[in-house]
Amino acid sequence: MTTKILALTDGLGNLVEFCLMPGQAHDLRETDTLIRDLTAGHLLADRAFDADWLRNDLLARDITPVIPPKSNRRFPADFDKETCKWRHLIENYFGKLNENRWIAMRSCKTDHSFTACISIAATILHIR
């Protein structure tokens, strides 16, 4: 049993929202609930989030999707490669979050306590 953390950060790499998912679940499964109330200029994501419904939803809300296309797409979507370079902020955030051994090793037994641990670690990172 593994757990995925689906996180949304702001333009500075600070955690805004997150949710837990089963490790075997696809990343897109909880994306809709995570970005439901999102208001932003751009949404940067990795290839796992390359789906037409997500791109169309973002464009309908005047949010520019910056998502590299999957290699198996027949007609790859365009994306801004320079803006996509800022995606490292979320990767850096996960690196900082995983510095806490109790998060990296998932030492909590329940999702509720694991969510609390992530919230505490995010607060400590924000205070630094």
Does the CA dihedral 81-69-67-64 come out positive or negative? positive
Domains of the chain: 3-127 (3.30.420.10)
Is 97 exposed, middle or buried, given 0-12, 13-18 or 19+ CB atoms closer than 10 A? buried
Residues 6+ apart with CB under 8 A from 85: none
- pLDDT tens per residue across all 128 residues of the chain: 678 888 888 888 888 899 888 888 888 888 888 888 888 888 888 888 988 899 999 999 999 998 988 888 888 888 888 888 888 888 888 888 888 777 777 767 788 888 888 888 888 888 88
